[in-house]
Structure 1
Amino acid sequence: MFGDVPDIHEVLDRRLVTPLFQPLVDLTFGRVLGFEALSRGPAGTPLEMPTALFAAARAAGREAELDWICRAAAYRAALHAGFGPELNLFVNMEPTAWRAACPPDLVPIVRQARHRLRVVTEMTERVIADDPAALLAATAACRESGWGVALDDVGADPMSLALMPFVHPDVVKLDMQLLRAPDDPNTARVVAAVAAYAESSGAIVLAEGIETTEQAEVARSMGATVGQGFWFGPPGPLPAELPFAVPLPHVPRTSGDARTPFEVIAAERPVTRTSKSQLMSMSRHLEALAGDGPEPPVLLASFPDACYFTPATAARLSRIAAHSPFVAAVGAGIGDEPAPGVRGAHLDAASSMRGEWNVIVVGPHRAAALVARDLGDDGPDRGHRFDVALTHDRRLVVAAARSLLRCLAPVAVLAGRG
């Protein structure tokens, strides 16, 4: 320590992180179903709150290690208190930490947690824009451990609704500001989209930030069945006597589909043959779906080669990116940002997606995918033929989108934890 300001390296080396726990309560019967773990640095110092703590760790190049430390501290406290699989332990995680190995001294407690605890891992919509491949890997790893996944702060940003299908959470956590503006048109749109997702998937809806009886009633009217907030109790140590509860149900998932977008959709939908000029027209029509409406969807595209990513295409995607939560384009020779606001990635010669032309649109209320594969014809460019398939089936569209997202490399993470 240096005066009143702790050295971040000393905090991390000595594992000076303390978990606090806030109850999660059944809004119908008032039962405690579990707790969310919230991390704190050394008490009474500038690094006590998680935002400052993670900012300092990030500046020191040790954010992933801090993430492991925070989760391990929560696991250790829960196991010491006698947690079993009947209680739900919600733990925040940065999916980018899955790119870093667990520190050796924390491995034993992490292994115990995987065998003995029922963990629901919380993520925010921000992570899919930061590192889509890590998000998909992290959610798959959680479910392989028999754990659940929660999407946090839904409604705080339009991105959360558009990206919800990719996380496919077991628990949707409504942002606390929704409770404070129940009559706002945006609140109505968020609640409707979450209700539709919960009905189709079986996911649990949890309302955060409940501070009054009235807000608990508003939460119930929004479809929430679980609540969290100071009305039920502030963050603090775990109680000496743990409540008995039942685990929240899992939303069934499949993970690890190595197929390309074309392979995903062509396996279940008719395939036709068309020319490049016709395919370009179809592609523009689908891109237009991403450019309108109050809740713009995600737009993902892949091209056989950078020459297909023309200045006109770049301009269209850049215009869409100004309103869409996430726009990405991948292909041979495409750079990290091929147009303003557009995420990009180069596909090398070994990529199974080389030769595909895909346009995928996914939003809260719409889903569509046009997938095509170049047949490798000689002759005039616009006469080249493609095998093409089209679908509006959300299940297939999301599967194709997840396949494309795996091609995107991470970018620097700028935001901190709450």
Structure 2
Amino acid sequence: MASDSKGGSLVGGNGVQWDLDSGRSDLDDAVTGEGLAPFFQPIVSLPSGTTVGFEALARWPRQPQLGPQEVFAYAAATQQVTELDRVCIDRSIAAALRGGLREGALLGVNSEPASDYTGRADSEFVQRGHEKFSLLFELTERNLLEHLPTLLRKVAALRADGIAIALDDVGDNPESLALLDIVCPEVIKLANKLIQDPPSVDTAKTGAAIMAHRERRGALIVAEGIETHEHLEQALAWGATLGQGFLFGRPSPLLPYTPTETWSLPALRAGGHGSCRSPFDVVTGNSAMHTARKPTLLAISRFLEDHARHSKDTPMVLTALQDGANFGLPTRRRYAALAETSPLVAVFGANVTPHQSAGVRIVTHDATDVLSSQWIVVTLGPHTAAALVAHERAGQGAACDDDREFDFVVTHDRAVITAVASALLNRIP
């Protein structure tokens, strides 16, 4: 949220500006849930078109000039996202219960990455929805990486509550692809461009990344935006087994019919990766350990950084470099170059100055933190998984900096790398 110098306007994260001097607006009412009416769009089995459930969509029909994007942008700018998110979820489930949605039917409800999770213990509607339906929380694509701590807490809480997760509009931006391994959703919802745009190298790159993840983890693929038989053909080509779109039914304020087919969601994923463990603890016992002096680790780090810089799938890059003294000008320039193409580049260290490198997230920690003895470079993307994880040997008394010795692992095990990445991502404020 930002106000101009006159104090009369509010600017949202998407650059939209609202005039505060005009008094209470329709948006002020909308963010409290006034006028909110859930609409339901059928989710169908492909290719048969048999309805298996519905996605609940937030709408304000009495204020047709207000779309959900604008309402949620205003809620974010006025720090009311959590409250609005809860109202939308509770009313959506309540409307499904009231409308007689059959037991076991699939019910998708949208949830903002920036909102705190309100779970079964605190929401009667989430509890009842979980008991009666195949409840699916759909994490929207808005600003996924801007709210990482909240998002990761929400994913862990949903897992603990036994609620399935969908990642929405995957492929609309690199962020959603970068987080596939971290969130590991039961359901992947394809971005409309994969269904409606002509096939291209760009859509092939995105589609191949999604299909690779499905092959590894067994996620279910849902195609949205199916309006024609040509769109349906493209959805099937990308491996979608469920679909939505005007070809099967438009959103409606009432449940138009009862699903005639029961659809089981994939088995729920295990709980989140142990964020309490340090990255080196993650690899200990999982990979062969070696010992080398600093120049060897420096060469491996440069190789991993260069590989990420030239990779076609633009992986995230996470680096722990012990101390800010190791983040000199050449390194800062390399990481600024990485940030030009990678969806997330983060550097962790003691005495690292924020904003030292354009586009790079700087995460400082105390010199006594366990990370101060660890040297880590992680590259993780749809087709990239490589990491150097090292721990400096204590009490060496090395004569010079290059003589410092480290126990280290170089791994390409995606599960191990994802756990290492999660341990670092949970530290981002």
Q: Of the candidates 79, 82, 87, which is equivalent to residue 100 of structure 2?
A: 82
Alignment match of 2:38 (pick from 19, 24, 37):
19
Of residues 228, 231, 242 in structure 2, which corresponds to 1:226? 242
Structure 2: gaps (5+ residues): 1-20
- Alignment partner of 1:37 is 2:37: no
What pairs up with 1:144-155 in 2 under 5 angstroms?
144-155=160-171
1:366 and 2:391 aligned: no
- Is the Cα–Cα contact under 8 Å of residues 144 and 175 in structure 2 kept in the other structure? no
Residue number in structure 2 paired with 1:162: 178
Instruction: Give the equivalent residue in structure 1 for 2:224.
Output: 208
Q: Is contact 2:31-2:74 (8 Å) kept?
A: no
In the alignment, the residues of structure 2 paired with residue 51 and residue 21 of structure 1 have an alpha-carbon distance, to the nearest angstrom, of 17
Question: What is the root-mean-square deviation of aligned Cα atoms in Å?
Answer: 2.5
Structure 1 position 276 matched with structure 2 position 302: no
Q: Indicate the SS of the match to 1:186.
A: helix
User: 405, 411, 414: which is aligned to 1:385?
Assistant: 405
Contact conserved, 1:127 with 1:135, CA < 8 A, in 2? Answer: no
Q: Is the 8 A contact 2:196 2:226 kept in 1?
A: no
Q: Which whole-Å CA distance do the structure 2 matches of 1:189 and 1:251 have between them?
A: 27
Q: Distance in 2 between matches of 1:119 and 1:309?
A: 46
The amino acid that maps onto 1:321 is A
Cα deviations across residues 113-143 of structure 1 (Å, max 9, x unaligned)? 3444422122245544112222221112112
Secondary structure of the 2:265 match is coil
The superposition leaves residues 251-298 of structure 1 with CA deviations (integer Å, 9 ceiling, x where unpaired) of 533324121211111221111111122211111111111101322111
Aligned to 1:302: 320
> TM-score scaled by structure 2?
0.87
Gaps of 5+ in 1: 410-418
Match of 1:412 in 2: none
1:185 maps to 201
Change (3 A) 1:396 1:85: farther
Q: What's the CA shift for 1:213?
A: 1.5
The answer to whether the Cα contact below 8 Å between 1:15 and 1:69 also exists between their aligned partners in 2 is: no
Distance 1:180-1:30 versus aligned 2 partners, 3 A rule? closer
SS of match in other structure, 1:156: coil
Would you say how many aligned residue pairs link Structure 1 and Structure 2?
404
Counterparts in 2 of 1:45 and 1:141: CA distance versus 1, 3 Å: same
Separation in 2 of the partners of 1:56 and 1:256? 33
Answering whether residue 272 of structure 2 is matched by residue 255 of structure 1, we say yes
Counterpart of 2:419 (choices 377, 396, 399) is 399
Distance 1:220 1:78, change over 3 A: same
Tell me the CA shift for residue 8 of structure 1: 3.7
CA displacement at 1:344 relative to structure 2: 1.5
Q: Work out whether 1:292 is the aligned partner of 2:292.
A: no
Q: Which has the higher contact order (CA 8 A, sep 6+)?
A: 1
Change (3 A) 1:300 1:323: same
Residue equivalent to 1:416: none
In 2, distance between residues paired with 1:222 and 1:42?
34
Matching of residue 328 in structure 1 with residue 328 in structure 2:
no
Contact preservation (8 Å) 1:5, 1:45: no
1:18-41: per-residue Cα shift (whole Å, max 9, x none)?
A: 211111111132221211111123
Aligned counterpart for 2:159 among listed residues 128, 143, 162: 143
Match of 1:246 in 2: 263
Kindly indicate whether residue 213 of structure 2 is the aligned counterpart of residue 197 of structure 1.
yes
The one-letter code sitting in structure 1 at the alignment partner of 2:193 is: Q
